[in-house]
């Protein structure tokens, strides 16, 4: 365990007074947090299922993408520099962070999610929990667990909170696909790896201890690590210590892992780096970017605003902040009108007979694995262009079928994790920008 070399208080104004004594235990030479990012179905995951085919795993990921997109529509959520680092494990279109919580340490595999804020895990005793392969966290066995009372500023900052009979603060997360998590809002010690290889601990981290959870959650992950921009995201809670910086690199291969870094080691620089502004909007959870166009070969498809009936809510304003970047969604969702124009250009460029998706989810598919797929280039404001390889745009959904891994939507536009693979992606929340660098993430 590292020694105490400095301290910090949670940067969110409503929380800082209550947690003024919060400290981050670090080594002065540690360099920060490092966590592995692990694909859910990676052989390196302790819950790897060798009997599932790659197509079956991708089909599950597609189903979760549609469910997740619907969550964003009706979601009710808990509203000196260090270099924290962790591994990221790829998992059926999602990526897991391996961290520890509690004293003594209890290992947790949770989804790394830039599209949500609160970190939560399933806890004992579970009134109603979805099936989980790993043991449940037992707060009674941790000497550092403390449920927050109803009068605390942290509890008051939660949009969907209530007061239990024991005067503890309870949270409620409800999603459009009927998934949910209910439990106690608490503080606990979170322990991460670091770039030095030494363990680093962050006491008094606010998180959700879920006793009633169900829905489309996969049994491999025991919860979520929120990396969004809201008040209770760990990124916000550790903001001063990490100087508002984190980065990750998502591997394409299921048998490899990569890293997620927090702090100065998360700065993305060097040859090939492009950057685009983060647009602040009403929902502070999401990292909004501005998509200008998508190039198919030499043809440009401009961003097009979906025409919706009068009075229909839509995030598409045709201007700034028209798409979010989300590590927890597999597919990329585009405005319906833009998607249709993009698909038409792909059909003309590929010039082959298409075939139905055997899973009946995706609309543009081909029964030839060796077709010539044109390069897609996403252009964002600031001149940032992301050239996506064919492995990120077309995926195998059947024995001899590949499909375009993007869909049209009349709801929120999302840059999913397939489109983020093999880019080192750095978030600088102090300067409100995201940077991209083409990288072989399997070698990170």
The residues carrying an active-site annotation are: 113, 326
CB 328 within 8 A of CB 68: yes
Q: Is 213 exposed, middle or buried (0-12, 13-18, 19+ CB in 10 A)?
A: buried
Tokens of 195: 């770039």
- 78 Cβ contact partners less than 8 Å away, ≥ 6 residues apart: 117, 118, 157, 158, 159, 160, 161, 171, 173, 185, 208, 230, 231, 232
Say if CB 392 and CB 305 are below 8 A apart: no
Angstrom CA distances, 194 to 88, 210, 375, 376, stand at: 13, 27, 37, 36
Q: Which helix (H) or strand (E) holds 368?
A: none
Retrieve residue 291's tokens: 């998509």
User: Smallest Cα–Cα separation from 269: which of 247, 252, 298, 253?
Assistant: 247
Contact 391, 418 (CB under 8 A): no
Q: For residue 116, with 0-12 CB atoms within 10 Å meaning exposed, 13-18 middle and 19 or more buried, which class applies?
A: buried
What is the DSSP pairing of strand 120-122 with strand 146-147?
Answer: unpaired
DSSP 307-329: P--TT---S--SSS--EEE-TT-
DSSP state of 57: H
CB atoms under 10 Å from CB of 78, counted, come to: 29
Please report, in angstroms and rounded to a whole number, the separation of the first and last CA atoms in the chain: 25
């Amino acid at each position: 365990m590292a020694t105490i070399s400095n301290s910090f208080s949670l940067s969110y104004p409503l929380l800082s007074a209550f947690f003024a004594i919060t400290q981050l235990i670090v080594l002065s030479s540690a360099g920060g947090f490092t966590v592995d990012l692990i694909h859910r179905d990676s052989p390196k995951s302790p819950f790897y299922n060798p009997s599932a085919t790659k197509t079956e795993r991708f089909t599950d990921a597609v189903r979760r993408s549609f469910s997740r997109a619907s969550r964003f529509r009706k979601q009710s959520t808990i509203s000196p520099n260090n270099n924290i680092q962790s591994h990221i494990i790829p998992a059926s279109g999602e990526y897991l962070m391996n961290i520890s919580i509690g004293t003594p340490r209890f290992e947790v595999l949770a989804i790394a999610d830039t599209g949500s804020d609160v970190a939560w895990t399933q806890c004992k005793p579970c009134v109603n929990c979805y099936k989980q392969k790993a043991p449940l966290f037992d707060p009674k066995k941790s000497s550092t667990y403390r449920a927050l009372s109803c009068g605390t500023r942290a509890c008051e900052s939660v949009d969907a909170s209530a007061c239990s009979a024991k005067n503890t603060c309870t949270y409620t997360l409800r999603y459009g696909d009927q998934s949910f998590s209910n439990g106690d809002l608490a503080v606990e010690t979170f322990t991460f790896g670091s770039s030095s290889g030494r363990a680093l601990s962050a006491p008094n981290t606010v998180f959700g201890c879920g006793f009633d959870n169900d829905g489309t959650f996969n049994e491999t992950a025991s919860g979520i690590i929120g990396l969004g921009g809201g008040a209770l995201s760990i990124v916000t809670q550790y903001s001063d210590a990490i100087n508002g910086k984190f980065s990750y690199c998502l591997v394409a291969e299921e048998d490899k892992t990569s890293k997620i870094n927090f702090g100065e080691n998360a700065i993305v620089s060097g040859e090939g780096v492009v950057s685009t502004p983060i647009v602040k909007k009403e929902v502070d959870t999401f990292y909004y970017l501005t998509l200008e166009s998508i190039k198919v070969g030499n043809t440009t498809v401009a961003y097009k605003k979906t025409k919706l009936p009068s009075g229909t809510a839509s995030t598409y304003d045709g201007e700034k902040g028209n798409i979010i970047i989300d590590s927890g969604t597999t597919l990329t969702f585009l405005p319906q009108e833009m998607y249709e124009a993009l698909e038409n250009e792909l059909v003309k460029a590929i010039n082959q007979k298409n075939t139905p998706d055997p899973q009946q989810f995706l609309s543009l598919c081909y029964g030839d694995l060796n077709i010539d797929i044109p390069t897609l280039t996403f252009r964002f404001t600031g001149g940032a262009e992301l050239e996506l390889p064919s492995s990120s745009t077309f995926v195998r959904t059947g024995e001899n079928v590949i499909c375009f891994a993007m869909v049209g939507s009349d709801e929120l536009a999302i840059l999913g994790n397939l489109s983020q693979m093999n880019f080192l992606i750095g978030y600088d929340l102090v300067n409100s920008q995201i940077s991209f660098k083409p990288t072989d993430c399997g070698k990170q």
